[in-house]
């Protein structure tokens, strides 16, 4: 049985769903004012693996991941660039989708945008107001009085006296308590016209937290079976979602809460605010430019990054460092070398197989991808020792559940990569140039000019190309 670590109870618990065989999962997505960085990749890939395993386990999944397309940061960036909110967010949504495609992240079943659900947000605010859980301050903002909601702080594990307003919550003179958070922001005279909506409280826009309460309720209802997000969303965002949703509708917002671990750089969390982030596109791209959303992807590097993310447990802190990416590239290459050396047999996945059972046991233990990846390496060892095509095929089939090992091994191993010991090379040979040198080497061997043949092999090795002479005179090659 699948067990999930629940952030709220701090315990592993069996997956319980409101409807048998159906999982309704809501994950807080991007605020689209800039390109995604590797910390975002951690969340995107982590919950992609979650929904893949749920489906592989036989559940019908409704996976919703929202987009925040109205926010103070979005407004500031649009004003800086002299563009409309819609133009700015549309560009960065396209860029986010390009990153998802590069990482093999399957699209969610629904991808609602906050601006499409403003009416629903106002409905919730009116309901909260009728229950004494919303008030309009002198500055026109509508706020939620957190001290009137019993249990506030239960997700973050903080008492009210320990809590503060949070990164995105500005303390204003209109609040009755500094901890109160904004449900509706009154429009300011200098803000663009496309950032305001009419409301019973005057023109304005929604606060950040109310967006997810409205979107999750409209698309999935309550309780959610799984509510997920990044590590920095526990407080204030998810804490405030609980207060809004449970305050308005009663009941429980989510049965299980999942939060992925942070991406670290030198023991500090990777984030735009700290300025230590690396963008996904810079890690994977062939031709990315800041004025284009889409970009060509190096497939070997892209799968390496997904592998780097997947081989750590989603809740663990993961450290970004060049050496860690080099190690991930070499490790993934070893799996593909097995597929190249022992062509996989096409199989129907048998969950009674001991290796498949070990894979399932790992994934059912709170999506322990580190344990699942270990099974792949065990199968690779078995395939290499015994030239076992079935072990190779099982390795590929199980890897597919993690979004790995589905490329043609020959194409993968011939693709250049910056993440090997030699790093990026200005003299990297094209595939055509390599094939030409291999043909010249074959001619030299036929003419018994072994000195020239050896010189060509050495030249290729110097430039990161390894040759393997097969029976019958054929020569295979790969970049190392």
Question: Which residues does the annotation place in the binding site?
Answer: 28, 212, 237, 241, 272
Q: Which two tokens stand for residue 35?
A: 């390109």
Q: Please tell me the distance from the alpha carbon of residue 70 to that of residue 86, in angstroms, as a whole number.
A: 9
Q: Which two tokens stand for residue 321?
A: 């460092």
CA 292 vs. chain centroid, Å, equals: 21
CA 113 vs. chain centroid, Å, equals: 18
159 Cβ contact partners less than 8 Å away, ≥ 6 residues apart? 153
Q: Which one, of 204, 220, 209, 200, lies nearest residue 149 by Cα?
A: 209
Separation of first and last alpha carbons in the chain: 41
Residues making up the binding site for ATP: 272
Q: Where are the beta strands (DSSP E) in 283-323?
A: 318-319
Whole-number Cα distances in Å, 125 to 81, 128, 187, 247, 251 = 32, 5, 17, 10, 17
Whole-number Cα distances in Å, 44 to 38, 89, 107, 303, 385 = 10, 18, 10, 14, 36
Residues making up the binding site for Zn(2+): 28, 212, 237, 241
Q: Please tell me the distance from the alpha carbon of residue 456 to that of residue 434, in angstroms, as a whole number.
A: 10
187 Cβ contact partners less than 8 Å away, ≥ 6 residues apart? 195, 196, 202, 203, 204, 205
Q: Tokens 């190779």 appear where?
A: 392
């Amino acid at each position: 049985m699948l067990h999930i670590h629940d952030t709220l109870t701090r315990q592993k618990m069996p997956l319980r769903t409101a409807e048998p065989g159906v999982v309704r999962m809501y994950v807080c997505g991007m605020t689209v004012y800039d390109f995604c960085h590797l910390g975002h990749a951690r969340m995107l890939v982590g919950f992609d693996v979650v929904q893949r395993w749920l489906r592989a386990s036989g559940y019908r999944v409704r996976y919703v991941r929202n987009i925040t397309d109205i926010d103070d940061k979005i407004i500031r960036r649009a004003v800086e660039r002299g563009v409309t909110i819609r133009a700015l967010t549309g560009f960065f949504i396209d860029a986010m989708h390009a990153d998802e495609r590069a990482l093999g992240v399957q699209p969610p079943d629904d991808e609602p945008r906050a601006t499409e659900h403003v009416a629903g947000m106002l409905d919730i605010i009116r309901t909260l107001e009728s229950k004494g859980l919303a008030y309009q301050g002198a500055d026109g903002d509508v706020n939620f009085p957190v001290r009137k909601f019993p249990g506030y702080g239960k997700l973050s594990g903080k008492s009210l006296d320990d809590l503060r307003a949070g990164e995105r919550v500005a303390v204003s003179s209109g609040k009755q308590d500094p901890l109160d958070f904004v449900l509706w922001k009154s429009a300011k005279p200098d803000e663009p016209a496309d950032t305001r909506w009419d409301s019973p409280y005057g023109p304005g826009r929604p606060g950040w937290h109310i967006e997810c309460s409205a979107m999750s309720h409209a698309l999935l209802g309550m309780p959610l079976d799984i509510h997920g997000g990044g590590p920095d969303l526990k407080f204030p965002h998810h804490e405030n979602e609980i207060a809004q949703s449970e305050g308005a509708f009663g009941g429980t917002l989510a049965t299980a809460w999942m939060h992925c671990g942070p991406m670290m750089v030198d023991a500090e969390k990777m984030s735009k605010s700290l300025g230590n982030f690396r963008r996904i596109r810079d890690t994977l791209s062939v031709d990315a430019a800041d004025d284009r959303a889409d970009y060509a992807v190096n497939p070997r590097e892209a799968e390496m990054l997904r592998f780097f993310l997947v081989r750590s447990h989603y809740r663990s802190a993961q450290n970004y460092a060049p050496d860690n990416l080099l190690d991930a590239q070499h490790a993934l290459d070893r799996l593909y070398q097995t597929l190249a050396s022992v062509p996989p047999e096409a199989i129907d996945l048998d969950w009674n197989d001991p290796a498949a059972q070990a894979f399932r046991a790992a994934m059912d233990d709170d999506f322990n991808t580190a344990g699942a990846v270990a099974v792949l390496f065990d199968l690779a060892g078995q395939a290499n020792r015994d030239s076992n095509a079935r072990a190779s095929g099982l390795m590929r089939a199980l890897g597919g559940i993690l979004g790995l090992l589905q490329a043609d091994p020959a194409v993968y191993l011939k693709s250049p990569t910056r993440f090997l010991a030699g790093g990026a090379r200005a003299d990297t040979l094209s595939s055509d140039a390599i094939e030409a040198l291999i043909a010249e080497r074959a001619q030299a061997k036929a003419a018994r000019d072994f000195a020239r043949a050896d010189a060509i092999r050495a030249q290729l090795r110097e430039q990161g190309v390894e040759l393997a002479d097969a029976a019958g005179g054929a020569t295979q090659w790969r970049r190392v």
